[in-house]
Structure 1
Amino acid sequence: MRNLLKLIGVLISLLVVAVGLVNVPAVQDKLLDRAVTRQLLNSPTDLFEDDAMRVVICGSAAPMPVRERASACVMVIAGGKFYMVDTGNRSTNNLGLWAIPFSRTGGVFLTHFHSDHIGDLGEFNMMTWAQGRPAPLNVYGPQGVTEVVEGFAKAYGQDSGYRTAHHGPILLNPARGKMIPREILLEGDSAIAMDDGDLKVTMFSVNHAPIHPAVGYRFDYKGRSVVISGDTIKVDNMIKYSQDADLLVHEALAMHIVQQMQATAGGLGNERIESILSDIQDYHASPADAAVVANEANVKELVLYHLVPTPPNSIAEKVFMRGVSDIRASGVTLGYDGLTYTLPLNSTAIIQEDMNNR
């Protein structure tokens, strides 16, 4: 007992000394320098090695209010560059927290022009330009993408001018800060949006009526593949263009939860929310719908994103996924911000990790 009391006394003394040192400016500066150094050296450059195709969920939420998640955004890494499929609100903040090297920016692909899919386009353009993007930003999308790009360029025009004036045109070359719209016209139900020889991106139509156009994208890189649905109901085109894909990133709206929310809103006399909750059910796919698509397309792994409503805890997650296991017993994951997949080349492996734990 005496030895234990001595040990406790020593630990308390050390704690008192440590607390005192933290209040010393020189110690504070040393700790700050160490933290800054760690942050600057922590860029995950290994993600860009040409040994795999990689996919990161940068935004898993939908427009409903939610903490700690960005709106719809998926990053695809291939050939030493990263490509964004949609730039939902707060998604650029996630990239910054993960120290993604913005000099590796390849481009943006927009699925449609709802605010929760385009809200961060201006921020993404500004941040990647400010942190070393070597060329203008290519923004691919269906008809209407030119109007979206020009609108953001106008809104951020004064900001861009301020930054060049402050930092100088050598550091912030205004020509590199521009966005270039790449409007892709669908030929039938699909079109090649980009093809650099190794990476081919196919745009295909989906059904998010009355929103039109609405598209999904398939990325094929050296034998590995990922498909991102954007917003859609269950539609044959999703099955067609997801065929034999390694990974399908599919949106999901839990009808049973939304219907319960709708009934509650009606019971409380909130007719506006009741009406909105009723309306959104006819242009989204359920988790079960997504599972059927994955099965019929022979997809190896399914991850759900754009979660409506986003489940805040493990119990809500179980409710959200109710019935999915009856359709697809394995190979399905409920997405979250930071969920990362590595698809090694010359392999069928699919490796999952959490970007937040790097």
Structure 2
Amino acid sequence: MKRLMAAAISLVVAIAAIGFGIIWFLPSAQDAIMARVVASNVAVTTAVLDEDALHVVLCGTGSPVPDPERAQSCAIVYAGGKVFMVDSGLGGWERLARFRLPVDDLTAILLTHFHSDHISGIPDIALNSWASGRREALVLYGPPGVETVAKGFDLAYSLDDGYRIAHHGADFFVAEGADYLPIVVDVPDRHAGVTVFDEGGVKVTAFRVSHEPVDQAYGYRIDYKGRSVVFSGDTKKDENVATFARGADVLIHEALADHMVGLLEQGLDDTGDRRAKVMHDIPDYHATPVQAAEIANEAGVKLLVYTHIVPRLPNALAERVFLRGVSAIRSGGVELGYDGLYLELPAGSEKIVEHDLR
């Protein structure tokens, strides 16, 4: 019996060694494996286009604080053949590419405000949506000042655009696709929203939030066939968010745990790090997780999702501390957002189907 077992093991080892040798030394075998890997990695996730639903994917739930698990502010919404990004922070495109989400028919980017972590990824989205087939100028909706942002990126990347057209040809990189089309959204009355887009059953509404000294910072509500998602943008606790999120299915609200940031401030101050002042200043224009839960309750939303997470949450203990006090305010319908959270809201239904694209 022992001899039989030893012989069987030897045979398995020999077969494995032969297989390894074929893969390691035979180029055609290597290429065949690589071709299969490439095919699986370049396939586009079409579910966000096929179903009649409001599809929401978080592609950046972080902040300016470096976080290997979270890109800077970024979300993408697919509905009724339209594709809207809400902010475009650094790393957002990398996440979209990893999740294999289509961007060739990007309708527009909705910018909440112009802090760097909300706009730093625009050039990556511009280039890759252009390479994927976008043939018209990239539309940027945003508060007054969006023209300056568009002009800046246009100038900074004008040489790069020219190189790519020259290399790949004007039939592939259509010149108009390199342009930006900034559209100023002015919301003069903080108690009245402004319709930004209303076409094909998709309605986008902008509303004012409180992020001073940012003069005009916006949140956005997107409605499609009776389903709705609201993005708070960066804001301290603001009743305006509750007003415009009233009756919505999902509220995606920023959150900063002030008690955790206070510990960071103390630690930095103890070591003489000047960034302690930043930690001291930032809580006054962000909402805490508990405050966001209060807003969600007031609005009557089914699901509250936290994003723009401050500070970093490297483990389960940190997540627990971040959410401290939330369950006393809101017993259910709370999700700590993460890059790759995909919410599917089917038309004609009340269901919220969660998927993990990671």
- Give the alignment's TM-score, normalised by structure 2: 0.96
CA contact (8 A) 1:109 1:139 kept: yes
Tell me the CA shift for residue 97 of structure 1. 1.5
User: Is the counterpart of residue 328 in structure 1 residue 330 in structure 2?
Assistant: yes
SS at match of 2:84: strand
User: Is the counterpart of residue 55 in structure 1 residue 68 in structure 2?
Assistant: no
Structure 2 Cα separation of the partners of residues 162 and 310 of structure 1: 39
Partner of 1:36 in structure 2?
A: 38
Q: Which residue type is aligned with residue 336 of structure 1?
A: Y
Tell me the CA shift for residue 197 of structure 1. 4.3
Structure 2 Cα separation of the partners of residues 275 and 229 of structure 1: 25
Structure 1 Cα separation of the partners of residues 267 and 98 of structure 2: 37
User: Is the counterpart of residue 344 in structure 1 residue 343 in structure 2?
Assistant: no
How many residues end up aligned between the 2 structures?
354
Q: Give the 4+ runs in structure 1 shifted more than 3 A.
A: 3-7
Partner of 1:145 in structure 2?
A: 146
Structure 1 Cα separation of the partners of residues 8 and 306 of structure 2: 51
Structure 2 Cα separation of the partners of residues 221 and 7 of structure 1: 62
CA contact (8 A) 1:109 1:140 kept: yes
Pairs within 5 Å for 1:92-241: 92-189=93-190, 190-241=193-244
Tell me the CA shift for residue 8 of structure 1. 2.8
Pair 1:17–1:139, CA change in 2 (3 A): same
Structure 1 Cα separation of the partners of residues 8 and 85 of structure 2: 55
CA contact (8 A) 2:135 2:176 kept: no
User: Is the counterpart of residue 289 in structure 1 residue 294 in structure 2?
Assistant: no
Partner of 1:264 in structure 2?
A: 267
Structure 1 Cα separation of the partners of residues 278 and 356 of structure 2: 34
Task: Give the one of 286, 305, 311 matched to 1:309.
Answer: 311
Structure 2 Cα separation of the partners of residues 17 and 342 of structure 1: 47
CA contact (8 A) 1:49 1:80 kept: no
Q: Which residue type is aligned with residue 229 of structure 1?
A: S
Structure 2 Cα separation of the partners of residues 310 and 333 of structure 1: 16
Tell me the CA shift for residue 50 of structure 1. 4.4
Tell me the CA shift for residue 16 of structure 1. 1.2
Stretches of structure 2 lacking an aligned partner (at least 5 in a row): none
Q: Deviations over 1:241-280 (max 9, x none)?
A: 010110000000011100111112222222x121110001
SS at match of 1:64: coil
Structure 2 Cα separation of the partners of residues 134 and 65 of structure 1: 34
CA contact (8 A) 1:62 1:308 kept: yes
SS at match of 1:104: coil
Q: Aligned Cα RMSD in Å? A: 1.3
Structure 2 Cα separation of the partners of residues 227 and 81 of structure 1: 17
Q: Deviations over 1:79-132 (max 9, x none)?
A: 123210000101011111122222221110000000000001111111100111
CA contact (8 A) 2:80 2:200 kept: no
User: Equivalent pairs: percent with the same residue?
Assistant: 42
Pair 1:237–1:34, CA change in 2 (3 A): same
Stretches of structure 1 lacking an aligned partner (at least 5 in a row): none
Q: Which residue type is aligned with residue 258 of structure 2?
A: M
Q: Deviations over 1:49-91 (max 9, x none)?
A: 2411010000011111111321011111111232100001010
Q: Which residue type is aligned with residue 244 of structure 2?
A: Y
Q: Deviations over 1:201-237 (max 9, x none)?
A: 0000000011121110000111000000110001010
SS at match of 2:29: helix
Q: Which residue type is aligned with residue 122 of structure 1?
A: P
Q: Deviations over 1:133-186 (max 9, x none)?
A: 132211101111111011111111110010001111111111122110011111
Structure 1 Cα separation of the partners of residues 39 and 271 of structure 2: 54
CA contact (8 A) 2:52 2:79 kept: no
CA contact (8 A) 2:135 2:174 kept: no
